[in-house]
């Protein structure tokens, strides 16, 4: 009987955590600040996973990954169109301006700086359409968590 109760408690904890995670992502999706980050070219095909685009952000080209802490927050200045430009690693002694946003990052094993939104999956056969993407549309909450919500073209139009 104790094993059955323990199993039910464990199941409730797992389901609770899963529901909390979904709720948290929905809050970011509905209330997060929209930031558009320029993409660098990359191949959008995977024979095993189907069609998807592995996102390579242009800001990685302006960062010196060897000088970045393993984890932290990057400061982005957001222009009137919502396009973000990386300014560097956040220093807590510096206050943010109204047009700036923090995005959490971590250094991946292969030296790439990751903000957590690294893949965009799309319907099979539509790779040519999504290959025209120039910006990733992400939403960022107050703590710096980023959630990928779409892709945009060169005129900032949603794809």
Higher local confidence (pLDDT), 66 or 145: 145
Over residues 65-104, the pLDDT tens digits come to 667 888 999 999 999 999 999 998 898 878 888 999 999 9
Over residues 17-33, the pLDDT tens digits come to 888 877 877 777 777 77
Q: For residue 7, give the H/E element and its range.
A: helix 2-31
Domain boundaries, the chain: 1-31, 33-152
Global pTM exceeds 0.85:
no
Residues 42 and 87: beta-carbon distance below 8 Å: no
The Cα–Cα gap between 5 and 139 comes to 40
């Amino acid at each position: 009987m104790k094993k059955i109760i323990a199993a039910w408690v464990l199941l409730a904890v797992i389901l609770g955590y899963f529901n909390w995670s979904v709720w948290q992502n929905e809050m970011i999706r509905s209330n997060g600040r929209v930031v558009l980050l320029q993409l660098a070219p990359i191949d959008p095909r995977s024979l095993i996973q189907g069609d998807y685009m592995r996102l390579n952000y242009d800001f990685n080209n302006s960062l010196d990954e060897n000088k970045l802490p393993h984890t932290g927050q990057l400061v982005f200045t957001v222009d009137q169109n919502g396009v973000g430009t990386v300014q560097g690693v956040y220093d807590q002694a510096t206050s943010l301006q109204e047009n700036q946003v923090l995005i959490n990052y971590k250094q991946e094993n292969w030296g790439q700086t990751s903000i957590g939104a690294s893949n965009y999956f799309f319907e099979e056969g539509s790779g040519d359409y999504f290959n025209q993407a120039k910006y990733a549309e992400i939403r960022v909450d107050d703590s710096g968590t980023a959630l990928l919500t779409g892709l945009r073209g060169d005129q900032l139009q949603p794809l």
